[in-house]
Amino acid sequence: MDVAGYSARTEADEARTTAEVAALRSVIERTAAAHGGRVFNTAGDGFMLEFGSPSKRHSRWRNNANPSCALACTWAM
């Protein structure tokens, strides 16, 4: 996962962008953990997540009851 427009945002207001990415990391860490995963590496605005199995990463869901980790992270933002 990475942040759209990160470079432009950083150029416009580095302190604010840094704080927003830190808050985003917290959301991603909690969401990944809830889906059996973890953040194992970052690079600026990029987050690499690791899961023990594909089924943890891509949950089958209906009526938004158990979305995949990627969807849950997106919705949380």
Model confidence over 14-62: pLDDT tens digits?
A: 999 999 889 989 988 998 888 888 999 988 788 888 887 766 555 554 5
What's the CA gap between 19 and 51, in Å, rounded? 26
Domain map (residue ranges) of the chain? 6-76
What's the CA gap between 42 and 55, in Å, rounded? 23
Q: Which residue has the tokens 């949950």?
A: 59
pLDDT at 26: 92
